[in-house]
Chain A
Amino acid sequence: MSLDYNPGRPEDLVEHDRVQTPLYEDAALFEQEMEKIFAHSWVFVAHGSEVPEKGSFILSWVGQQPVIVVRDRKGDINVLVNRCRHRAATVCEVKKGKTSSFQCPYHGWGYGLDGSLRGVPYPEQYGKDFDKSALGMKALRVESYQNMIFATLDDGIEPLAEFLGPAKKWIDLFMKQGGGYPVKVLGEHQFTVPMNWKIQLENTTDAYHFPVVHKSFIQSLDKEAEATFNFFDKAGFVEDLGNGHSVAVMIPELIDLDENLDDPIPERFEELAQALRDEGFDEPRVRKIVRATGGAGFNLNLFPNVSLSLAFFRVLRPVGVKETAIRHVCLGMDGGPAAANRMRIRLQEHFQGPMGFGTPDDAEVWERVQRGTLGGRELPILVNRGLVDEVPGVDGPRGHLSAETGMRASYQMWKRMMAQ
């Protein structure tokens, strides 16, 4: 089989309106992505509420590398590669919990919550100049925005805030679904799909697929909710936010959850509203909490591995060139009314996860893409939709809601990083 690209120049695989099939299936290219993209980006690892107290930890990943996200005694967040500096065993296999230290199960090397090597059994055999300070667990650079914790293996890249750029204001808007309470992780769905990670990367600001793939979900809603999810009747749009990030506004009236609070309460939230009134919340609080419960009206995709989608986080992890793991993280109101959090959980279960009314259909079409690329390898993947009426937006090109502006944003960032 002849390749129509020079394997030495992956950036040649991406043009503005199309990308080439090897992006989904070339194992050597995948290895380069792990190095050039995942080792040099801000990668989302956890939400602060998953490590709420000193000593709280959760296992996570930076690309293919297993890490521990842990809050130390000073309250600082550390992201440590889950590998003993002695002979490489993982020091922790508990998914989430609380501890005062990490101890390697193999030879007993002990580490503090900041990754520093505290002690080793029988140190005499290492001699007098054994330098514990040089043998701490590998710690990544860590920064947070709105309690979203990101880590990077690259000490030289720009600060997180600069990397996020215009996406920050969308993150701020998204977090208003705390309804006046801090946003908290309530649980998550996790699943793998036999597909390349970029098939997922493309998806969250791809509103074009929604009425097709999710027809069975839309049909399970009441008429009013069905109208809410008929995105293309509204003034939505998708905008390139730079650095590979993009936002798709599906439900414009739900961009800012503090606005339009006088709108009628949708029928499917009426029971919740009454429960909140019965608990003693005044009408403005009821309206604010009810509105927050439904989530935001947009999907924000942050390159390379996390999106903020309506009411949840979607986190991707590249497992292999044709295998990707996904977390759908359910969010709620920390200290908020139980009835509201319950409803958010039920809404999450309705669409997301291995048995949701949405996710299995997403997983099916994603796998179909991976299977389809076995044929016609010379054919391009088209990402040209909406170029015809794209206009300058606030922070970058803005297209029709069904445009592939978000994919073009991601692939231009991919191209930039792979060319370095």
Chain B
Amino acid sequence: MSGITTVDRDVDLQELAAFVWREADILDRCDYDAWLALWTEDGHYIVPIGKGENYEDQVNVCYDDARMRRMRVERFQQGFSISSAPPADTVRTVSRFVLQGATGDEIVLGCAEHVVENKFGRQRIYAANLTYTLVRTESGLRIRNKVARLLNSDGELTAFSYLF
């Protein structure tokens, strides 16, 4: 973390937080086309199980490249999935932003996410540590990788009809 002073000087945490808040709003509104547009083509959206970081060779809750992300969104939007038509409503907050590094065009940002979902009047609460790898492009910040590590990810969860 010796570079942290440089990092702090070069990166505006408020700008990053605003980006992540915008994504949170997009996800709560299920505006998935807008969500897909926040990504670069090369990275992964990952909800891992346990503490492992070799995502490619471990079983994850999801491990989506660009193609899988598009398929996931299509599934949500087409109306044939009973769990997504309608999905649970969600309200989420994202906070506790910590800049974890910045090298080249990449910025690594950690934060906490709390999601409350409602379906059938039954509310559930989930919490996750989010780690973003963001890149600055000509059209603004984009997500290259996003890891949503849920509490109890290696225990019993419930079925999700939304994204973290």
Interface residues of A (CB under 8 A from B): 95, 186-194, 213, 215-217, 219-220, 325, 330, 338, 341-342, 345-346, 348-350, 353-357, 359-365, 367, 371
On whether the beta carbons of A186 and B157 are closer than 8 Å, the reply is no
On whether the beta carbons of B160 and A355 are closer than 8 Å, the reply is yes
On whether the beta carbons of A188 and B59 are closer than 8 Å, the reply is yes
Judge whether B158 is part of the interface by a CB distance below 8 angstroms: yes
Sample (15) of A-B pairs whose CB atoms are under 8 Å apart: A187-B59, A188-B49, A188-B59, A189-B61, A190-B156, A216-B78, A220-B71, A325-B156, A330-B59, A345-B57, A355-B61, A357-B75, A361-B81, A364-B82, A371-B120
On whether the beta carbons of A216 and B80 are closer than 8 Å, the reply is yes
User: How far apart sit A348 and B61, CA to CA, in the bound complex (Å)?
Assistant: 9
Contacts of B81 in A (CB 8 A): 215-216, 357, 360-361
On whether the beta carbons of B58 and A353 are closer than 8 Å, the reply is no
Given A349-B63, A360-B84, A365-B82, 14 more pairs with CB closer than 8 A:
A187-B58, A188-B49, A190-B155, A190-B157, A191-B156, A191-B159, A192-B158, A193-B158, A219-B74, A349-B60, A353-B59, A354-B159, A361-B83, A363-B158
* In the A-B complex, the 5 residue pairs with the closest CB atoms: A187-B59, A363-B159, A216-B81, A360-B159, A360-B83
B: interface residue count bin: 20 to 34
CB-CB nearest in chain A for B164 = A355
Contacts of B159 in A (CB 8 A): 191, 193, 354-355, 359-360, 362-364
Contacts of B100 in A (CB 8 A): none
Interface residues of B (CB under 8 A from A): 47, 49, 56-63, 68, 71-72, 74-75, 78, 80-84, 120, 122, 154-161
CB within 8 Å for A216 and B75 given contacts A342-B56, A342-B57, A345-B57: yes
Question: Shortest CB–CB separation between residue A373 and chain B, in angstroms?
Answer: 14
CB-CB nearest in chain A for B162 = A355
User: How far apart sit A191 and B72, CA to CA, in the bound complex (Å)?
Assistant: 20
Most chain A beta-carbon neighbours within 10 Å: one of B71, B81, B122, B161: B81
On whether the beta carbons of B59 and A354 are closer than 8 Å, the reply is no
User: How far apart sit A380 and B63, CA to CA, in the bound complex (Å)?
Assistant: 42
Question: Shortest CB–CB separation between residue A314 and chain B, in angstroms?
Answer: 14
CB-CB nearest in chain B for A363 = B159
User: How far apart sit A353 and B48, CA to CA, in the bound complex (Å)?
Assistant: 12
Question: Shortest CB–CB separation between residue B76 and chain A, in angstroms?
Answer: 9
CB-CB nearest in chain A for B60 = A349
User: How far apart sit A365 and B57, CA to CA, in the bound complex (Å)?
Assistant: 31
Contacts of A364 in B (CB 8 A): 82-83, 159, 161
On whether the beta carbons of B80 and A187 are closer than 8 Å, the reply is no
Contacts of B60 in A (CB 8 A): 349
CB-CB nearest in chain A for B70 = A220
User: How far apart sit A190 and B158, CA to CA, in the bound complex (Å)?
Assistant: 8
CB-CB nearest in chain A for B58 = A187
Most chain A beta-carbon neighbours within 10 Å: one of B47, B72, B80, B155: B80
Contacts of A360 in B (CB 8 A): 81, 83-84, 159-161
Contacts of B59 in A (CB 8 A): 186-189, 330, 345, 348-349, 353
From A192, A338, A354, B57 is in contact (CB under 8 Å) with A338
CB-CB nearest in chain A for B155 = A190
CB within 8 Å for A220 and B74 given contacts A342-B56, A361-B81: yes
CB-CB nearest in chain A for B47 = A355
CB-CB nearest in chain A for B161 = A360
Contacts of A341 in B (CB 8 A): 57
Contacts of A190 in B (CB 8 A): 154-157
Contacts of B154 in A (CB 8 A): 95, 190
Contacts of A345 in B (CB 8 A): 57-59
Question: Shortest CB–CB separation between residue B35 and chain A, in angstroms?
Answer: 15
User: How far apart sit A341 and B58, CA to CA, in the bound complex (Å)?
Assistant: 9
Contacts of B68 in A (CB 8 A): 350
On whether the beta carbons of B58 and A354 are closer than 8 Å, the reply is no
Contacts of A192 in B (CB 8 A): 156-158
CB-CB nearest in chain A for B63 = A349
Contacts of B80 in A (CB 8 A): 215-216, 219
User: How far apart sit A357 and B82, CA to CA, in the bound complex (Å)?
Assistant: 11
Contacts of A359 in B (CB 8 A): 159
Question: Shortest CB–CB separation between residue A308 and chain B, in angstroms?
Answer: 17
Question: Shortest CB–CB separation between residue B59 and chain A, in angstroms?
Answer: 3
Question: Shortest CB–CB separation between residue B86 and chain A, in angstroms?
Answer: 11
Contacts of A219 in B (CB 8 A): 74-75, 78, 80
On whether the beta carbons of A354 and B82 are closer than 8 Å, the reply is no
Contacts of A362 in B (CB 8 A): 159
CB-CB nearest in chain B for A346 = B63
User: How far apart sit A219 and B57, CA to CA, in the bound complex (Å)?
Assistant: 26
User: How far apart sit A191 and B83, CA to CA, in the bound complex (Å)?
Assistant: 15
CB within 8 Å for A191 and B82 given contacts A338-B57, A345-B58, A353-B61: no
Question: Shortest CB–CB separation between residue A189 and chain B, in angstroms?
Answer: 7
Question: Shortest CB–CB separation between residue B106 and chain A, in angstroms?
Answer: 25
Question: Shortest CB–CB separation between residue A87 and chain B, in angstroms?
Answer: 26
